Amino acid sequence: MCLIVFAWKLLPTCPLIMAANRDEFFNRPAKAADWWDDCPDVYAGRDLQEGGTWLGINRQGRFAALTNIRNGQPRRADLRSRGELVASYLDSEQSAEDYLAKVQQTADHYNGFNLLIGDGEHVFWFSNENGSEALQLQPGIYGLSNGSLDTPWPKVVRAKAQFSSLLCQSAPDDAYFDMLSDTTHASDNRLPDTGVSLEWERLLSPICIESPDYGTRASTLLKVHSAGSAELHERVIR
């Protein structure tokens, strides 16, 4: 998943509302969001290549989401799948704090990642880049792509602005999916330098990515309600 915007503890009846796009190569097999047969409390999409997931909830109202880090370094094939970090938390009874303490001990076993996890009471962000510690998030609106939390890449800035407007309007769910389908490219003078070619920086700059081989494959709207329940709505693009 390559773009997540979310509001934490700004709406009394819905402490968490999150809109996200998953970007991936189209030839990587995946299953649409559903209840998992082998982990019946987990509701999420599934990466059929490694068995993990990028975003999900469980019956207890917990959620987790993941993005990869883009820094121009080659992916190491000998490391563990990052998608297991989301799946393991959703299938665990550990507190968010205890789970993150465990993740921090083995963080170097994975390629670069951002991990968001929450339990209805707290939301945490952790990245294994730059030796950062887990951060408990305060109420606010946040954006996350393939850099650090709130790194002001054009797509993050654009998505946060649109997301904030939709919250203020008490917009319907469809409006969030419209936002996630925005294919507007950033101008070259606003593109970040993340270690890939200019052609790829251009390709990756929209909220919704389109290309023959790689792009946005699914959009998701996730809500955790004050009563403790969670709901996840996914629209598969391809």
Residues 68-125: tens digit of each pLDDT: 999 878 889 999 999 999 999 999 999 999 999 999 999 999 999 999 999 989 999 9
Question: For the residues 153-167, what does the mean pLDDT come to?
Answer: 98
Cα 53 from Cα 46, distance rounded (Å): 5
- Give percent of the chain with pLDDT exceeding 90: 92
Total domains in the chain come to 1
Task: Give strand pairing partners of 140.
Answer: 8
pTM comes to 0.96
Answer whether residue 50 shows pLDDT above 80. yes
Tell me how far CA of residue 26 lies from CA of 20, 213, 218, 236, in angstroms: 18, 6, 11, 12
Answer whether residue 1 shows pLDDT above 70. no
Burial of 225 (C-beta count, 10 Å sphere; 0-12/13-18/19+): middle
Q: What is the CATH number of the domain that holds 222?
A: 3.60.60.10
Strand (E) positions, 61-211? Answer: 63-68, 113-118, 123-127, 135-136, 140-144
Q: Angle, to 10 degrees, between the axis of helix 173-180 and the axis of helix 154-168?
A: 170
Answer whether residue 2 shows pLDDT above 80. yes
Domain that holds residue 141: 3-236
When pLDDT is cut at 50, 70 and 90, the band that residue 156 belongs to is very high
